[in-house]
Structures are given as C-alpha cells and as structure tokens.
C-alpha cells in the first residue's frame, strides 16, 4: 500500500490502514467526549485542518503525516480502530483502570 508520504515503515503503513474513514475520527472523538479543538490540539494540528478532514465522507484523503498525527493522538487516549473483511469499520475505546 502506498503511504503517500514517503515513509517506508511497514508499521506506519499498517497503522494508517486501521483509521481510513473520517467517520471513525468523529466516532472516536464522541467516545472520548473530545471537541474538535481538543483533538486538534492533542494532535498538533490546526482546527481548520481537522474540520476539513472530518467534513469529508468516505476514505480519508488527508496528508499521510496529518492522518497519522490524528490516529496517534486518539490511540494514546485508548481508541482502537477496526475494519474487517466484510467492509465493516469501527472504533473501540479501551477503558482505563483506576
């Protein structure tokens, strides 16, 4: 799979594969109770960039490095992105133990 960003790491390519849809970003934010501003700040992005990415439907077309920043911020908060062979996508939240 081409990663579009010049990165050759198989891990990063695999990581990108898990979060491919803007709906997954919106769902992940909802599970965490985060606003767009909170996610943009945690991912080190401008708010307008995140808003553009979330507004698009279907497969995420954003710059590879931008998508990775979003995914890493969400995964560090406990989000796990899923997609199965039937084409079903999803988002799960790993609850942190106290």
Which pLDDT band holds residue 83 (cuts at 50, 70, 90)?
confident
Question: Are the C-beta atoms of 80 and 73 separated by less than 8 Å?
Answer: no
Q: Using one digit for the tens of pLDDT, what is the confidence trace for 23-68?
A: 999 999 999 999 999 999 999 999 999 999 999 888 877 788 999 9
> Tell me, what's the pLDDT at 20?
81
Which position has the higher pLDDT, 95 or 86? 86
Question: Are the C-beta atoms of 93 and 32 separated by less than 8 Å?
Answer: yes
Q: CA–CA separation, 89 vs 98, rounded Å?
A: 29
Provide the residue ranges of all domains of the chain, joining segments of one domain with +: 10-93
Question: Residue 87 region, left (φ>0) first, then alpha (ψ -120 to 50), else beta?
Answer: left
Fold of 10-93: 434 Repressor (Amino-terminal Domain) (1.10.260)
- How large a percentage of the chain has pLDDT more than 90? 56
Residue 29 backbone dihedrals phi, psi, to 5 degrees: -60, -40
> Tell me, what's the pLDDT at 84?
86
98: pLDDT strictly greater than 70: no
> Tell me, what's the pLDDT at 97?
66
């Amino acid at each position: 799979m081409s990663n579009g960003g010049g990165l050759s790491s198989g891990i990063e390519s695999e990581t990108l594969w898990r979060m491919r849809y803007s709906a997954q970003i919106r769902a992940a934010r909802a599970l965490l109770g985060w606003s767009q501003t909170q996610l943009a700040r945690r991912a080190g992005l401008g708010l307008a960039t995140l808003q553009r990415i979330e507004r698009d439907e279907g497969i995420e077309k954003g710059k590879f490095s931008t998508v990775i920043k979003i995914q890493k911020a969400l995964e560090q908060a406990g989000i796990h992105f899923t997609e199965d062979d039937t084409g079903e996508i999803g988002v799960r939240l790993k609850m942190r133990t106290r």
